[in-house]
Structures are given as C-alpha cells and as structure tokens.
Structure 1
Amino acid sequence: MHPILKSYVPVANMISQTFGKNCEVSIHDLTQPESSVVYVSNGTVTGRKVGQSFDHLIRQVLLSKKFKDDCTANYVFEAENGRKIKSSSALIRDTEGEVVGMLCINYDLTLSYMLKDEIMGFLPEADHDDAEAEEDVPDQDVMTIIDDLIENIVKNRNLDNLKRKDNIELIRFMDEKGVFLVKGAIDRVADSLNLSRVTIYSYLDEARGKR
C-alpha cells in the first residue's frame, strides 16, 4: 500500500460505520492497477476483496460528465451479486500532485428501491429516470491519469521478453478496464509496449475473441 493511503484507512472505517451495513468503502492503490484494492471496510456489500483490480475508474469516474475536482459522486452500477449500488469515488494525490489512489463509497440501494416501489404504488405518475449516457471527451488532467495507469500496468515487465500471449493478456486487461474507451489510448499503449498500432488492434481483436 502506498504510504499516503494508510491515512485513509480510519476514514474508510468511519464512513462505513456511520452509514451502517449497507455501506462499503474501499481504498485503491493506482500505482498497482492490476491489484489496486488494498483495503476494504464492510466488503459484504459488493464482495470487494483486497488484491482485486478497479472496475469503474475509467468508464464511470474519469469519463463521467459529473467528474469534477477529482471526484464523481452518485453513479449507479450492478454488482456481481446482482445488487444495485450507488457509488462515489474520489482520487487521492501525493504531495507532488500525482494520482496514487482512490477512495470509493458503495451503498446498497436494495432497500431503497423496495421502498420506492412501495411508494410509487400510491403515486399517480410514473417516475422517470434522469440518467444520461456519459460520453465526455476527457480533459488533459484525465489523460495524464490514463497515461499513468498505462505506465503502471506495463512497468516492471521486460518488454523485450514478452511473448505474444503475454501482450494479448495485457491488452485484454486494459480493454476490460476501459482503457481503450479513451481517445488516443491505442497510440499510448502502442508506444508503451514498443509495438505498432496495427499490432495493438490485432491483439485487441484476439483478446475480444474476434480472431
């Protein structure tokens, strides 16, 4: 765990204890993206465990229209256990201003939706979902974070000794995490792996089962 993140452990515990059994708080170390989860308070909400990787950082945090001041609040996703989760995520920077981690709050909406359905049965008009597609073009700060993520995923690997299957697994991991949703990511990954854009596209097709 990055030293700065240790100070957020009591914060995570305080939040989950304040909001009770339906609230889970996790701390991510983004200097180690493939095993970014370094602490979880009340992991029963989504099943989060230490050693797992991030899921929503790019798609629902960095690329969200709501992303401002290093934070995206109140986005909703469905956990693997089928629960609807309201989540808020805030980036954590070191003293140099570099993004090193993320604090995420996940709240189980199951009871809230049950109460909503019960209440809506008494109301004359149907509720309307105001959710909108998040398709913002990332700003320069977001691109810097993406570049750092790519660098952290690739680091500590001897690129000269990577075999084709190793590169494909790296590309698959990045694809699953949403890296290639970001405009220009193909070029950045190609440069990081010392490969051509054509090769990256080829590996991406294979990772997605298109070849």
Structure 2
Amino acid sequence: MRNLAEEKNFFITMFDMLEAHFGADVELVLHDLTNEYEHSIVDIRNGHITGRKIGDCGDDLGLEVLSGSTDDGNSYNEILRTEDGKILRCSTIFIYGDDGAVIGSICINQDITRTLAMEEYLRAHINKSSTEAKETFTKDVNTLLTNLIEDAHRHVGKEPEDMTKEDKQEFIRYLDERGAFLITKSGTRVCNYLSISKYTLYNYRDIGRELVVQEAD
C-alpha cells in the first residue's frame, strides 16, 4: 500500500464497525500523513469529543513521527485531558507504506469523564465497613445444605477425620448460626459427615448456643 486512498473502502468499513461497536463516547480518527499536515484528518467519528472535523490537523505526536524524532509513535491507553476538561483514554497506531514510510495513523479517544465521576461517586457512597454477604443462591435445599457444609469445612479448615472435639463443636455452631438445621434431615447429613451420633450433634449444638448466649451477656 502506497497511500490510504488505495484502501479507502476498507478504512470506511472498519470505522463504521468501530463506531457502531463503541458508541458515542469514543472518537475515531484517520489521518492521512502523505498530504498537508494542517489538513491530515480524512475521517473522524464522534468529533464532538475533541471538537475536530474532517480537514483539521493532527497532533504533536504525528509531527514527531514524521520528523523522525520518534521511531515508534504507537501509544496505548494514555490518559489525556482536553482544554474543556474532558478526560480521555487514547491509543494511536501508525500506518506504514510498502517503502516503510509513514502514510497515516488511526487514533481512538475514549471519553471516560463520566466513568471516572461514577467511580468517585461509588467510592464515596459505598460503605467500606460492609462485609461480604454469605447468601447462597441454589435451586434445591440439598445443594444449599451441601454449600453450607462446604462453608463450615472451610471455616474450620480441617478434614472431618482430623477434627478435634472442639473443631466439630465449632463446625456445628457455624452451621447452626447459618440456619442449616432448619433444613429437613440436615442432622443426618451432618452426623454422617462428621461421623458422630445424633445425640452428640444435639449436645454440640446446645453447647454452641450456650456460648452464644454467654457472649451476648
């Protein structure tokens, strides 16, 4: 390719796709750097972001590449601020002809001003002291109980065969606190999991509840 005009239809199609994909907050600019730099923009979409139009000039980065002072002018995800206060995330690639000379560039400038403002809003209004919820969404109680048993397992941090009496008491206290024993036949599942009798289960559960009462007092 010797100049952009040879692939004009390709660039138009590509810009049509990118404009439809990214929407109105992303400016797309095609520079023809083989003509006068003062009028290098040959295609631009959403030019309201920087206030430019077809026939306007390029920026200082293009001049640096054309002058040879910068070998590789490609840049990605740079944050820039416009004169009217917009904050942009910008990327640029340069297009080279068959002889290795620069013939054009494509720039993508995303207006992230509103995104950053929303981020600040969320940071200011979300309660940082909030803890992660323990709610689990499942389709049936068997799966729910399995999830609760797995949570208790992680809470204690030991395999059932390695648990001490105190570990099993804590395991059961944790399940009781999460409401696991409200599920029908949950006691049988837990007894089998811990290899204990129902008498032991109820005994450990009562001990855990007494501790909760004592801590509350």
TM-score, with structure 2 as normaliser: 0.48
Say which structure is richer in helix. 2
Q: Highest Rg: 1 or 2?
A: 2
Higher relative contact order (CA 8 A, sep 6+): 1
